[in-house]
Amino acid sequence: MSYLVLARKWRPKRFAELVGQEHVVRALSNALESGRVHHAFLFTGTRGVGKTTIARIFAKSLNCEEGTSAEPCGKCSTCLDIDSGRYLDLLEIDAASNTGVDDVREVIENAQYMPSRGKFKVYLIDEVHMLSKAAFNALLKTLEEPPGHVKFLLATTDPQKLPVTVLSRCLQFNLKRLDEGQISGQISRILAAEEIQADDSAIRQIAKAADGSLRDGLSLLDQAIAYTGSNNGGALREEGVRTMLGTVDRTQVGAMLAALADGDGARLLQIVATLAEFSPDWNGVLEALAEALHRIQVRQLVPGVSVEADGIDVEDFAQRLRPEVVQLWYQMAVNGRRDLYLAPSTRAGFEMSVLRMLAFRPAGAGQINAEPASASEAAKPAQTASVAARQEIPAPVAKPVAETPPAPVVKTPPQPASTAVAPVAGTSAAAIATAEEWLQFAANSGMKGAARQLAENAAFVGYGEGVLRLSLDAGFDYLRSEKSLAELSNTLASKLGAAPRIVFDHALGESETLQQRSHRERSQRQSADEENFMNNPDVQRLIQQHGAKLVPDSIRSFDE
pLDDT in tens, 334-379: 999 999 989 999 999 999 999 999 988 765 555 544 443 433 343 3
Express as a percent the part of the chain with pLDDT over 90: 18
Q: What is the mean pLDDT of the chain?
A: 80
pLDDT for the residue 365: 55
Give the pLDDT mean for 231-247: 77
What's the CA gap between 224 and 242, in Å, rounded? 10
- Residues 179-208: pLDDT tens digits? 888 999 999 999 999 888 888 888 988 998
Residues 425-449 have a mean pLDDT of 76
- For the chain, the first-to-last Cα distance in angstroms comes to 68
pLDDT tens digits for range 9-32 = 899 988 888 888 888 999 999 999
Classified as helix, coil or strand, 469 is strand
Of the candidates 491, 432, 441, which has an alpha carbon nearest to the alpha carbon of residue 462? 432
The answer to whether residue 558 scores a pLDDT higher than 90 is no
Give the amino acid at 258: A
**For residue 86, with 0-12 CB atoms within 10 Å meaning exposed, 13-18 middle and 19 or more buried, which class applies?**
exposed
pLDDT at 413: 39
- pLDDT, position 267: 93
H/E stretch holding 357: helix 346-359
**Domain map (residue ranges) of the chain:** 6-174, 180-245, 250-379, 406-535
The pLDDT tens digits for 385-418 are 333 333 333 344 433 333 433 433 333 334 333 3
Q: Give yes or no for a contact between 32 and 66, defined as CB atoms under 8 angstroms apart.
A: no
Cα(136)–Cα(185) distance, integer angstroms: 40
Judge whether residue 329 has pLDDT over 90: yes
Q: In what order do the strands lie in the sheet with 458-464?
A: 458-464, 467-472, 501-505
CATH no. of 406-535: 3.30.300.150
State yes or no: pLDDT of 100 exceeds 70: yes
Q: What is the Cα–Cα distance from 130 to 151, expressed in whole angstroms?
A: 20
Mean pLDDT of 125-150: 86
Rounded-to-integer distance, Cα 327 and Cα 392, Å: 12
pLDDT value of position 361: 73
Q: Please list, in sequence order, all residues whose beta carbon lies within 8 angstroms of the beta carbon of residue 330, skipping any fewer than 6 positions away.
A: 290, 293, 294, 297
pTM: 0.55
Cβ–Cβ < 8 Å for 53, 11: yes
Q: At 559, is the pLDDT very low, low, confident or very high (cuts 50, 70, 90)?
A: low
**What is the pLDDT at residue 296?**
92
Minimum mean pLDDT range among 89-93, 145-149, 226-230? 226-230
CA distance readout (Å), 92 to 56, 124, 349: 9, 5, 47
Mean pLDDT of 418-423: 33
Q: Which fold has domain 6-174?
A: Rossmann fold (3.40.50)
On the CB side of 378, CA atoms within 13 Å amount to 19
Cα(536)–Cα(451) distance, rounded to whole angstroms? Answer: 44
Rounded-to-integer distance, Cα 536 and Cα 544, Å: 12
Looking at 3.40.50.720, 2.40.110.10, 1.10.3720.10, 1.10.8.60, the CATH number of the domain 180-245 comes to 1.10.8.60
User: How many of the other CB atoms lie within 10 Å of CB of 229?
Assistant: 12
pLDDT, position 560: 57
Residue 451: predicted pLDDT: 87
Q: What is the pLDDT of residues 309-327, one digit of tens each?
A: 667 888 889 888 999 999 9
Q: Span 211-232, mean pLDDT?
A: 84
Contact by Cβ (8 Å): 28, 15? yes
Tell me if 70 sits within 8 A of 32, measured CB to CB. Answer: yes
Kind of pairing, strands 458-464 and 467-472?
antiparallel
Residue whose C-alpha is closest to residue 187's, from 249, 232, 241: 241
Identical topology for domains 250-379 and 406-535: no
CB-CB contact of 49 with 21 (8 Å): yes
Q: Report the 10 Å Cβ neighbour count for 221.
A: 30
Q: For residues 414 and 437, is the Cβ–Cβ distance under 8 A? A: yes
Residues across the chain: 560
Topology, domain 250-379: Zinc Finger, Delta Prime; domain 3 (1.20.272)
Look at residue 398 in the predicted model and tell me its pLDDT: 38
The pLDDT value recorded for residue 145 is: 84
H or E stretch at 460: strand 458-464
Distance CA 237, CA 217 (A): 16
Instruction: Count CB atoms within 10 A of the CB of residue 152.
Output: 23
Residue 84's pLDDT is: 86
Least confident of 335-339, 421-425, 469-473: 421-425
pLDDT digits (tens, 9 = 90+) for 488-511: 988 988 888 888 888 887 666 678
